[in-house]
Amino acid sequence: MTPTETKAIVTLSLLSAFVDGEKHERERAEIKRIAEGLSQADGVNLPTLYQDVLMKRVSLASVASELQSTESKQLAYEMAVCVCDADGTQSEAERMFLADVRTSLGLDASAAQFSRQAEEIAAVPVAATSAAAAAAPVPTAGAVAAQLPDSAELDKSILNAAILNGALELLPETLSTMAIIPLQMKLVYRIGKAHGYELDSGHVKDFLATVGVGLTSQYLEQAGRKLLGGLLGKMGGGMLRGLGNQAVSSGMSFASTYALGHVAKRYYAGGRTLSTQMLKDAFAGVMQEGKGLQTQYLPAIQEKARTLDAEKVLSLVRGA
């Protein structure tokens, strides 16, 4: 892709992030932080693009005119869909916007099919949906106290989830990037359940937001790093080439998943008594620990990535 096309894709992603007009101020602040953190990458000045979008100095028509190749148009649309779905299923405003994107880019029915796949990932509940799980009784407070979760097993599940999400970050498909968020939400749900708390997606989203993990902003950061690093959209056997030096991936998904898991474990084990600031501080501290561990577990992450492909993404989200 040319730098002009890369800039247009990033711009369309930012337009998608604000299309429904309902982003919380903290999410807007996170998106701004990400734009500043990724600034000047590949000749794209993200802070300027961010301001252009907020001030409505760019339009869908102007962005579409800068996308010439079929591949860049498809990738731009896929990223726009995933941005709209990152915080849940699409609103009416987002559906209308994406329809306009398809028309403006001249995409065929296969684009609409991608949107349906992304919606399916966004709509998967955090709780297990099997008949056996639905029939299982909710444990009483006394039963929970008598059967405390195995701390070592929880630690193992957190590490495995971090390795999986780190591997998904290395894959070039946009749906793989999108799957990271629901897998993180499911991890928090399982940790809460292990400590006797029945959570729904609203509770889990609130937990993520409290520690400082925005859904839309996290997707933008993950996908932005891959796009600007030249990985997103590539296919074939060479997709993992050169990852040993971490030139493409920062390993943020490994670290953020690791931190979410351990802070959730601490929070629910302590009876949900930690204050907002304590949660934020704990997350920041464990995030740094996760970044340090990422290099140690990089071989496991890369090996996991070699076993994954786009076809397995939805089954992973459903079955986690």
DSSP state of 23: -
193 and 297 housed in the same domain: yes
Q: What is d(CA 62, CA 74) in angstroms, rounded to the nearest whole number?
A: 17
- The confidence band for 146, taking pLDDT boundaries of 50, 70 and 90, is very low
Domain range enclosing 85? 3-121
Render pLDDT for 19-77 as a digit per residue (tens, 0 to 9). 877 666 777 777 887 777 665 555 677 788 888 888 889 999 999 999 999 999 999 99
Answer for the pair 8, 222: CB distance below 8 angstroms, yes or no.
no
pLDDT at 145 over 60: no
pLDDT category, 246, cuts 50, 70, 90? Answer: very low
Q: How many CB atoms lie within 10 A of CB 114?
A: 18
Using alpha carbons, select from 259, 118, 256 the residue that is nearest to residue 178: 118
Residues paired with 44 in a beta bridge: 41
Distance, CA of 36 to CA of 52 (rounded, Å):
14
Domain co-membership, 44 together with 62: yes
Write down how long the chain is. 320
Q: Which of 88, 104, 121 is the last residue of a domain?
A: 121
Residues 71-89, buried b or exposed e (16+ Cβ, 10 A)? Answer: ebbbbbbbbbbbbbbbbbe
pLDDT of residue 230: 67
Residues 147 and 77 occupy one common structural domain: no
The total domain count for the chain is 2
Is 100 in the same domain as 177?
no
Would you call 113 helix, strand, or coil by DSSP? helix
| CATH number for the domain that contains residue 12 | 1.10.3680
pLDDT of residue 318: 79
Residues 105 and 29 in one domain: yes
Q: State the pLDDT at residue 135.
A: 39
Instruction: Please give the radius of gyration of the chain, using alpha carbons only, rounded to the nearest integer.
Output: 20
